[in-house]
């Protein structure tokens, strides 16, 4: 079954949900397919995961962490090349 491709912007938008595991299985599958061939998104995924891990080790995560991460990622998207 073919997986419908999604664009980088959609991946960025869902990045924090993906990392937090709060994402529909179908969307997760689409994002994993995207990561397989998009180094740009893979780099941001790795960087975001590092931030989540480091912050999680030092501070208890605030309840609005996901929202703040999404805002940070949306700032990244503004400076990202359109693909
Ligand atoms: Zn991408």
Per-residue pLDDT, averaged over 53-67, amounts to 67
From the CA of 63, how far away is ligand 1's center (Å)?
Answer: 28
From the CA of 23, how far away is ligand 1's center (Å)?
Answer: 17
Q: List Cβ neighbours of 8 (8 Å cut-off, separation of 6 or more).
A: 34, 38, 40, 41, 77, 80, 82, 83
pTM beyond cutoff 0.75? no
- Identify which of 73, 65, 75, 23 has the alpha carbon closest to the alpha carbon of residue 43: 73
From the CA of 39, how far away is ligand 1's center (Å)?
Answer: 7
Question: For position 34, what pLDDT does the model report?
Answer: 93
- In this prediction, residue 11 has a pLDDT band, given cuts at 50, 70 and 90, of very high
Question: For position 53, what pLDDT does the model report?
Answer: 75
- In this prediction, residue 71 has a pLDDT band, given cuts at 50, 70 and 90, of confident
From the CA of 3, how far away is ligand 1's center (Å)?
Answer: 15
């Amino acid at each position: 079954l073919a997986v419908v491709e999604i664009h980088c912007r959609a991946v960025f938008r869902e990045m924090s949900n993906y990392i937090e595991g709060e994402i529909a299985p179908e969307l997760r599958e689409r994002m994993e397919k995207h990561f397989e061939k998009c180094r740009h998104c893979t780099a941001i995924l790795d960087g975001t995961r590092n931030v989540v891990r480091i912050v999680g080790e030092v501070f208890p995560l605030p309840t609005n962490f996901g929202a703040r991460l999404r805002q940070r990622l949306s700032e990244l998207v503004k400076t990202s090349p359109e693909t």
